[in-house]
Amino acid sequence: MNPPQSPASITIRRKGFSRFIIGLGAFAVGLTIPLFVLPYFRHQLTPTGMIPFALPGAYALSGLIELITGVDFFEFARRWDELKGWQRGIFGTFIVLVAGLLIITVFGLVASRL
């Protein structure tokens, strides 16, 4: 049985969900414009020139962290900074491995349907 959530946690999760949706929408629009709407400018977009298009994605990821954890992003960052270096290394490696496995699985499922 799950423990009851505090009202603050629910508020943070709602805020995180809205940040995630807004950031994801802005990221999708920002990605669509240079790739599909302006194809003749595609060769002029360098990795440095794509940074502004990645900012909404970072905003969406901060909202996703709030949605999953129920903790404000800055509080989460403070707690992360308080961890010892070896703990951050282990947790960070675990997060990267899980994210990589998730990405490979999703792309594998999508590619198998095509």
Q: Does the pLDDT at position 2 exceed 70?
A: no
Q: Does the pLDDT at position 55 exceed 60?
A: yes
Q: Does the pLDDT at position 28 exceed 80?
A: yes
**Is residue 102 within 8 Å of residue 37, measured between CB atoms?**
no
- Read off φ and ψ for residue 5, nearest 5 degrees: -90, 145
pLDDT for 79: 93
- One-letter amino acid at 112 equals S
pLDDT for 43: 61
Q: Does the pLDDT at position 91 exceed 90?
A: yes
Kindly state the average pLDDT of the residues 60-89.
93
